């Protein structure tokens, strides 16, 4: 049983499980729910393009959405696009849903975009086409860092909110790599902060020991 989810979750491709009317592992999850967005952590939503279409403006405003990350590849640009630039702040990413696509490079700018939104009490929707692979990978990466979770813990956490996520193998491998990257960055930041604190204490001690002529 994963400590970060209410249910035991197995990683991997779950296309078959997503196509059932109701999951036995997640009895609350119904197939039509995959067409809606779900709130993963306070203020951060994950969903399909269907949740950001022109007919959904009222729903987005009612949910308090202020920012949207739109993930697509170039051939999808004609039908997956920002529909409400006058209402929301957009970040558009060109990402193909294929195992060889470099998605790690998008984790830093998306984290900054989400942080800026949440720090200003906004609410952000991350969507691709189906809200299953590309957008899920971006949200999982964010949850990993903010919750200091492993990839598996973050996957379980996000899937507990949006059961139909199913990352391609390449994205899963990159997120496993990203786990080591962000933990190393966190360790380096902690060490740098500790060393800076020691230097400040040393400087203060030296200042207090100095004597000055009257």
Mean pLDDT, residues 10-20 taken together = 35
DSSP 154-214: HHHHHHTTSTT----HHHHHHHHHHHHHHHHHHHHHHHHHHHHHHHHHHHHHHHHH-----
Under the banding of pLDDT at 50, 70 and 90, the label for residue 60 is: very high
pLDDT score of 205: 60
State residue 125 phi and psi, 5-degree precision.
-105, 130
Mean pLDDT, residues 76-90 taken together = 97
Q: Where are the domains of the chain?
A: 15-206
CATH of 15-206, one of 3.30.2130.10, 3.90.190.10, 3.40.50.11540, 3.40.50.620: 3.90.190.10
Give dist(CA 57, CA 82) in Å, integer.
Answer: 12
Mean pLDDT, residues 123-133 taken together = 98
Q: Which residues 6+ apart lie within 8 Å of 77 measured at CB?
A: none
Is 193's pLDDT higher than 80? no
Question: Of how many residues is the chain composed?
Answer: 214
DSSP 38-59: EEEETTEEEE-GGGGSGGGHHH
Residue in 66, 111, 71, 108 with CA at minimum distance from that of residue 89: 66
């Amino acid at each position: 049983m994963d400590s970060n989810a209410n249910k035991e979750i197995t990683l991997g491709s779950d296309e078959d499980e997503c196509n059932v009317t109701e999951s036995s592992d997640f009895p609350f999850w119904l197939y039509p729910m995959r067409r809606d967005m779900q709130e993963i952590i306070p203020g951060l939503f994950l969903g399909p393009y269907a949740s950001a279409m022109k007919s959904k403006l009222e729903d987005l405003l009612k949910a308090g959405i202020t920012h949207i990350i739109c993930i697509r590849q170039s051939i999808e640009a004609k039908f997956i696009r920002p529909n409400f630039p006058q209402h929301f702040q957009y970040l558009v990413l060109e990402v193909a849903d294929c195992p060889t696509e470099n998605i790690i490079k998008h984790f830093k700018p998306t984290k900054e975009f989400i942080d800026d939104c949440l720090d200003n009490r906004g609410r952000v929707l991350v969507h691709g086409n189906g809200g299953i692979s590309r957008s899920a990978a971006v949200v999982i990466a964010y949850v990993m860092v903010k919750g200091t979770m492993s990839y598996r813990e973050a996957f379980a956490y996000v899937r507990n909110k949006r059961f139909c996520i199913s990352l391609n193998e390449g994205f899963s491998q990159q997120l496993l790599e990203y786990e080591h990257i962000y933990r190393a960055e966190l360790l380096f930041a902690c060490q740098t902060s500790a060393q800076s604190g020691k230097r400040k204490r040393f400087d203060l001690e030296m200042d207090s020991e100095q004597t000055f002529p009257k």
